[in-house]
């Protein structure tokens, strides 16, 4: 039967050959959003209405909850006894599967997001879905903060940290330089560009994350996406809630991963100087540990004029 839902002629043939339509069939079609299949099943359901009604109500609820407006409207047009379900309940499901058409219809029917759909879109840096939602309604600062937090949490999730540990272990075992551990740039979202657009949209609306979450995410990004790390530094003041962080706080970390281009950019910033004792290791020491000879040479050339780089 699941295959027949995707191919209407097959389902019609089954019905013509005596298929007895059940509540389970209706529920499955509604859950999957197969509106053509649902219409065929409804046309061929020969049971008395009093027997059909509980299953119809269940299917209607499933279509609503799973964000399938075509199935909802199909059933509303045919059955007056169905108790309407708030169309808003389907926003998150439509956002989860990145369905712009369903979102457009649901939002057009007056749905209001409680913040969960926006969080889902931002978690994967889905630019199109996030823009649809942000343009359709106004979110509170708290909801925007949670959406931004959802993205940063996805960057810093347990799977990503485990992946980094495995790559470092592999580098040590194969005696590969630390700066060569991550040879491919990660997307940190559905697309390379989407993360920038989503973060810009949220930060311009006042969303901020905690300083600690920003630090954790930045630590994950540095070895894997140098351009994104530079973006986070450039936008640190409008992404994290606080003003205590400086570029210099991250300089040694960038050196440890041998990110020469990032380090060069950081040293051009006025806030790149390392204050206090730091973490007990100089940027030059960290660069040497990374195995990036070009970065070490660059830092040594800066050492005579930049006291903060000295061991």
Average pLDDT, the chain: 90
- Burial class, 83, CB count within 10 angstroms (exposed 0-12 / middle 13-18 / buried 19+): exposed
What radius of gyration do the chain's Cα atoms show? 27
pTM above 0.85, yes or no: yes
11 within 8 A of 29, measured Cβ to Cβ: no
Please give the structure tokens belonging to residue 162. Answer: 């485990």
pLDDT score of 295 more than 90: yes
Which residue from 260, 176, 266, 249 is spatially nearest to 211, judged by alpha carbons?
249
Please give the structure tokens belonging to residue 176. Answer: 């590969």
pLDDT at 307: 47
pLDDT at 138: 96
252 within 8 A of 274, measured Cβ to Cβ: yes
Please give the structure tokens belonging to residue 93. Answer: 């499901």
pLDDT score of 32 more than 60: yes
pLDDT at 277: 46
Between 131 and 282, name the one with better pLDDT: 131
Q: What is the pLDDT of residues 105-125, one digit of tens each?
A: 999 999 999 999 999 999 999
139 within 8 A of 206, measured Cβ to Cβ: no
Q: What is the pLDDT of residues 55-111, one digit of tens each?
A: 999 999 999 999 999 999 999 999 987 877 899 999 999 999 999 999 999 999 999
Q: What is the pLDDT of residues 186-210, one digit of tens each?
A: 889 888 899 999 999 999 999 999 9
pLDDT score of 274 more than 70: no
pLDDT at 263: 95
Q: At what angle do helices 69-78 and 35-43 cross, to 10 degrees?
A: 20
- For the chain, the structural domain boundaries read 1-85, 88-207
Interatomic CA distance for residues 101 and 282, integer angstroms: 53
3-state secondary structure at position 273: coil
pLDDT score of 304 more than 80: no
- Burial class, 138, CB count within 10 angstroms (exposed 0-12 / middle 13-18 / buried 19+): exposed
Residues 68/74/78/80 CA torsion (nearest 10 deg): 40
49, 96, 189, 248, 273 from 21: Cα distances, Å: 13, 30, 42, 68, 73
């Amino acid at each position: 039967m699941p295959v027949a839902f995707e191919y209407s002629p097959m389902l019609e043939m089954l019905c013509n050959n005596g298929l007895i339509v059940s509540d389970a069939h209706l529920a499955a079609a509604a859950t999957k959003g197969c509106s053509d299949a649902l219409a065929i099943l409804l046309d061929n359901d020969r049971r008395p209405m009093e027997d059909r009604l509980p299953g119809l109500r269940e299917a209607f609820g499933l279509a609503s909850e799973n964000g399938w407006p075509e199935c909802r409207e199909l059933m509303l047009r045919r059955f007056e006894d169905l108790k309407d379900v708030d169309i808003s309940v389907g926003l998150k499901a439509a956002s989860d599967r990145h369905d712009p058409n369903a979102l457009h219809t649901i939002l057009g029917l007056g749905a209001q997001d409680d913040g969960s759909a926006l969080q889902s879109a931002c978690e994967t840096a889905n630019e199109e879905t996030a823009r649809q939602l942000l343009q359709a309604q106004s979110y509170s600062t708290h909801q925007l903060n949670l959406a931004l937090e959802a993205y940063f949490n996805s960057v810093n999730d347990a799977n990503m940290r485990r992946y980094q540990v495995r790559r470092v272990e592999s580098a040590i075992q194969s005696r590969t330089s630390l700066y060569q551990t991550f040879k491919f740039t990660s997307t940190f979202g559905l697309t390379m560009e989407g993360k920038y657009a989503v973060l810009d949209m949220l930060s311009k609306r006042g969303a901020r994350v905690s300083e600690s979450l920003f630090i954790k995410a930045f630590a994950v990004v540095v070895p894997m996406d140098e351009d994104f790390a530079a973006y986070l530094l450039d936008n640190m003041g409008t992404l994290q809630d606080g003003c205590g962080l400086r570029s210099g706080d991250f300089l040694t970390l960038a050196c440890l991963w041998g990110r020469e281009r990032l380090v060069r950019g950081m040293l051009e910033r006025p806030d790149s100087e390392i204050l206090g004792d730091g973490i007990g290791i100089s940027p030059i020491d960290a660069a040497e540990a990374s195995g990036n000879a070009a970065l070490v040479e660059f830092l040594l050339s800066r050492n005579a004029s930049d006291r903060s780089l000295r061991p």
